[in-house]
Amino acid sequence: MIEPLRVDIDIDCPAEHAFATWTERFGDWWPRGHSVPGDPAVVVLEPRRGGRIFERTPDGQEIDWGEIVQWDPPRGFAYRWHLRRDRADATDVEVRFVPAGDGTTRMEITHTGWERLGSDAETWRDANRGGWSGLLPVFVAACTAPLTSTGEAS
């Protein structure tokens, strides 16, 4: 068994807001370079069990990234992740939002299932560590950005 990749981060907002930012505003904060073509027209997370995570390219092609397998708002969710991989090689990601009692949130991410990648497992695990470290600051910024009167981050 390959050791799970665990990432924890503190966010200066309530858990409900962090959950909503990840799930309802996914396409707003997700970095454009973290995609297959590098500049998708839109990225989508369908907020429900069985929902898809995918990108739509400027020419309308949809590229699946994963599928929601657990849905527990606002505490968390889990998904199978296969961006740039075959669906059979999907890894498992669980994202938990834990209230810290002072209006802040501890986000706990556990990324497992590396064994499915065979001899590439450790390389992909290490690459994903770098991916998370580039992705999470963008997410935290979206969580803490002031909202406009329409409810969108400014």
Assess contact for 104 and 13: CB atoms under 8 A: yes
pLDDT less than 50: residues of the chain:
149, 154
The reported pLDDT for the residue numbered 146 is: 77
Instruction: Domain ranges for the chain, please list them.
Output: 5-24+67-144
Record the tokens describing residue 95, joined without a space: 């994202």
The reported pLDDT for the residue numbered 84 is: 79
Q: Is the pTM of this model over 0.95?
A: no
HSE-CB at 143 with a 13 A cutoff on CA atoms is 26
The reported pLDDT for the residue numbered 152 is: 57
Q: Is 108 helix (H, G, I), strand (E, B) or coil?
A: strand
The reported pLDDT for the residue numbered 37 is: 66
**CATH 3.30.530.20 is held by the domain 5-24+67-144:** yes
Do strands 42-45 and 5-11 pair parallel, antiparallel, or not at all (unpaired)? unpaired
